Structure 1
């Protein structure tokens, strides 16, 4: 494809990604409603659809703006998978519940349903981090990490295509596979599934995580800022294995952070829009995260403690505990924020913290010092300590009036 036609094709593809995603989500919602399926948690569904909708929007934007970067195409593929394949399963279930006999589209939907989940996992947890941010492998040594999951997903697709029966995951139905091999069980029940699916994806996921770490350690300048955005948005994934043991609201916040934050961070990083503001985001998160946790503990601890004390003294509950706890956190907010900010600066931004202290000390000396040579030496020392340049020198323009007097 020529460079002239590529931008046009990319814009058309980006528009199709958005249209197909929206159409697939709407079709799936309509079919589930006809099947009488009620969502157990509508809020989670909204976050899920909004998150992958943002994947579709950012992916389409990157495809249109950076068509030569595979990151946009991977994000678009993720959105299309989430938009199309659940609707295919819902259609298969709808056909089986209404007529009892599947048509060709229902068979295709049930077949795709048997393996598409693993393609989604491979694209999200292997290829997206492995190729971020420029769409290329860190080096040729990482080629096996890219190839192995692809072989595993292809093997799962072949097994799913040849099983004797096709069954639903969200809905309970079974469809005879017209090209299936008699006696070949479901994909999940096969011994080869653990090797091809779980093993390949696990190796690919671990390898992609290691590649991000290696790339970050070697990165400088713009690439490091891009990786900071990616790691900032993807950080809550570390807690996903234990998400079931976390409070429901915490799990929902972590999931929303990743689903909504990751595509936004990828878009900012690849398009290099406000790239260097990530340091401010990280700093504010390190400050306001612990600050919020401490204030919440103070509030609920104060409410519980004061309610217990008032119940003991008066024999009844009072709103005084809530009012007092609210006033306490209002009074504690500013001093706690300053303390946390100082700790974060000392612990994670030592150079910036030391530079601030050095400039403050220089400002104090500047008000008292009158010797120009001493001030010049101090200024050079401050520049060397705060900026750490390879070379520093100070040039002072001579006073023209004094120069004229000397000539006279």
Structure 2
């Protein structure tokens, strides 16, 4: 499978504001890393891997304030709580209010106070090893969210300081966080409070970041950032910030909080408003953009709209029981909307370059990620089928399980091939067609009969392949290299025999890109070789649209230059053979004429 990537359409309008300083980019990347790490923690726990965390075995209503005596709902069998004689219905509270939320290590002790008929009595429980659980649903959702987080980090890393891109990347990273609860080591000891505060801010700040990114993008497109939008943004920040600060303070100190049991609804309403406002501002940016850019902005608008819709479904899941395990309509809708949003956002970046990442995408990497996602998807399908088929049936007939695995194995390869063809058509068709034209030229080049025609044709084809880049072809002579075909005012007429680029090409015998040895005006140098001896070189300038030469383009052009060099050498050898044949023929004619002349002379006595 080819390893590679292609040309960018016209770049977006230049950023109106000064680029952000590198320190802000690094901080944004650290923020993104934290979001992705949370997904990794969730993935680790959901796979049933060891965490070192302990348990007391007590379950109670989370809405119950930790300064009150809360009724125990459930006691885990064999847990420290059961061994201490606690039963469902007993009333208990932690001595330290924050311990109601905080995790603990195996062997760590935790003090409680139990309310009994005779009064209060202290109780100390020592945590034993927490039971590991395997949740394939959480594994799939964690991987899906981590993919979106990595995409956000990619946008930030290649944003070149553009405020809109950094904010959109941060929004995707924060949206990809797997929850506001600290996990594993973050949930223990003194780590819990700072991580709980930070993760809540990230979790509920996603719509605000989307709204901020939409405002910045609209300002780039039209220069507008109306007073009403600014007031709506800062008003939402104030409401969300105040609500969050009040509730977090209440939870840390063990109070009920301002909204009681309706606290999540108070969280969810500003989040929903934020998504609606962000979608509205993005729609304004699309409407106010230049007509030639609207289709590209429209794709990104639909992509982010699907992401918003996934956020709404997520809020619906949380409001209806926080059930992420059963395949409910809300959960299925969340998967569909989120995957559609992520896929469209990737399509907008890679195919239409709505956000110009300024670097080449490796085709093999894209297909590798795609195959991995498909593999996990089929594994999830296998698990789902085994869940649907009754256990007695599967245990009674092992052929059913084997049949499921075999059918999925056969189907996987066909689906993967079909999806890869679709991806090739959607993302890489222009690249593939460009490559195919160059390869067709190389096949036909072997049938060109004159060296000058082949040189001119190669220069023209390389220029076409590079979207109009200047191309010059040089051949070795006694003093270095002389320009034989093509050329440009920006490229030299001659290359001295010991010029740095000549030395580098003779020593390395490989293509040079963005190398200090390249002469001014050249972005790519492609050697032609015969028996490892340098016979010539192509120099190519940068592309007119300032798009980079991708690694696959460099490799393909380097191979093409070698083949052109060999074809030119073959033509030179054929020319020498023809010249030798002509010389031999002339020598034979002269010899015959000489013999005839000698035969006609009278003999000398």
Q: What is the TM-score of this pair, normalised by structure 2?
A: 0.33
Which is richer in strand?
2
More helix by share: 1
Which protein shows a greater Rg? 2
